[in-house]
Amino acid sequence: MKAEHEFFAVDQVPWRVDANASTVDERVLSRGEDDGSLTRIARWAPGTDTSAAGVIRHDYFEEVYLLDGELHDLTLGRTFTAGHYASRPPGMPHGPYRTETGCTMLEIRYR
């Protein structure tokens, strides 16, 4: 379960490098230590490419809202930009992705 938080300034949360992707910085806004739930702002550096990991599947629900930049889905052959949203149930295949310009997204994970 995530901790309780009243409104706070997101820009006061420091950026840190994602432990799983050196070209992605994150601001973790809320985390459930016992269930793996997570709300974060993720910032992908220009040139980030996840094709080496192949198609992605995970065991949690994921919602993603692109705040800025662009994200190209290599499987679908489509580029998504600010204002695009995805909702993925556990096991849904997606990606891999590449971004030439970089992008920033709000990501919410839950079980």
The answer to whether position 66 is within a domain reads yes
In the chain, the number of structural domains is 1
First and final CA of the chain: distance in angstroms? 10
Per the domain annotation, does 16 fall within a domain?
Answer: no
Residue 20 lies inside a defined structural domain of this protein: no
CATH number at residue 48: 2.60.120.10
pTM of the shown model: 0.93
In tens, the pLDDT along 6-62 reads 999 999 999 999 999 999 999 999 999 888 899 999 999 999 999 999 999 999 999
Domain assignment present for 3? no
Distance (Å, whole) CA 81 – CA 20: 23
Task: Establish if 94 belongs to a structural domain.
Answer: yes
